[in-house]
């Protein structure tokens, strides 16, 4: 369930973790070069639990990692100058090229309504209908190109008051979000993942980030909105989490709240997080049933039959 964030040169460190079965994949940052495909192949070959998630943030605009290899991609807001059907084609072509490099998951599109701190042109706009139309066209293009899309940042970062990289943002109250920020998140299937953001939602999370909140993940997302797909949690090394708890404890809280895949920041965070999860199983903070649900979803996303891993 753990996804460390690595630059291409750090994939060798991820190999050591994969050999021990400690990661479900990686999130690649930085600016990969032509050697990325061989590096990814080596990572898969080292994994004791089969094919891994190879994820990247390729939104376009100021959040894209592969422009040096594949050229520039417009921001989400810039894409609204095109027709949705054109966006689907553009994104499908981009994703097909990314699949050829070895990537399997794109941590996009952004489903946030509004351009608040930390979002800006990453949002398709200030109107829920526009975000739904263009966001889903983007997601369809990701699927057409052979990658798995992950929409972010549930339940909506577009009108939050600060950037979660720095501090814990507060959104409008839940009742005000229902017919605005939550609109893009309704009716999603398991063909798309959802990334939960580090957002305090008055009337829902009560001072805790949504990423660590059972009320947000199990309650709102899984029960009320009936989402049964893979739930990712945004990077647990961000400032919004650091002011709440330690990363290993945050990993346990996120899993217990209903998440499946956790972005753990630097690769050296993986082992402390893994030990904390084991300890939490022993002391009852995390149930085997909840952990089993997460493992089942992650193996399905990776295309791994766990029965083949048992000797």
The catalytic residue positions are 165, 234
Q: Which residues pair with 73 in a beta bridge?
A: none
Q: Are 130 and 82 in contact (CB under 8 A)?
A: no
| Closest alpha carbon to 73 in 43, 97, 49, 101 | 97
Tallying the residues shown for the chain, one arrives at 311
Q: Are 241 and 250 in contact (CB under 8 A)?
A: yes
């Amino acid at each position: 369930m753990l996804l460390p964030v690595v630059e291409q040169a750090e994939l060798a460190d991820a190999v050591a973790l994969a050999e021990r079965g400690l990661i479900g994949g990686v999130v690649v940052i930085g600016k990969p070069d032509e050697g990325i495909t061989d590096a990814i192949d080596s990572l898969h070959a080292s994994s004791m639990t089969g094919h891994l998630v190879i994820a990247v943030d390729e939104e376009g605009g100021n959040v894209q990692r592969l422009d040096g290899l594949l050229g520039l991609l417009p921001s989400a807001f810039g894409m609204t100058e095109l027709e949705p059907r054109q966006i689907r084609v553009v994104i499908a072509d981009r994703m097909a090229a990314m699949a050829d490099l070895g990537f399997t998951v794109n941590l996009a599109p952004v489903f946030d309504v509004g351009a608040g701190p930390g979002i800006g042109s990453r949002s398709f706009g200030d109107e829920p209908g526009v975000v739904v139309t263009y966001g889903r066209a983007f997601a369809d293009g990701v699927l057409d190109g052979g990658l798995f899309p992950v929409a972010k940042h549930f339940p909506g970062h577009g009108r939050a008051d600060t950037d979660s990289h720095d501090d814990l943002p507060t959104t409008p109250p839940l009742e005000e979000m229902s017919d605005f920020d939550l609109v893009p998140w309704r009716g999603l299937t398991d063909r798309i993942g959802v990334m939960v953001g580090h957002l305090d939602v008055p009337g829902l999370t009560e001072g805790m980030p949504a990423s660590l909140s059972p009320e947000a993940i199990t309650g709102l997302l899984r029960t009320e909105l009936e989402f049964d797909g893979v739930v990712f949690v945004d990077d647990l090394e961000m400032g919004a989490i650091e002011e709440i708890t330690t990363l290993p404890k945050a990993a346990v809280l996120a899993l217990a709240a209903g998440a499946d895949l956790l972005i753990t920041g630097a690769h050296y965070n993986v082992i402390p997080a893994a030990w904390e999860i084991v300890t939490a199983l022993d002391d009852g903070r995390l149930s085997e049933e909840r952990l089993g649900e997460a493992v089942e979803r992650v193996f399905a996303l990776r295309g791994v039959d766990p029965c083949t891993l048992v000797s």
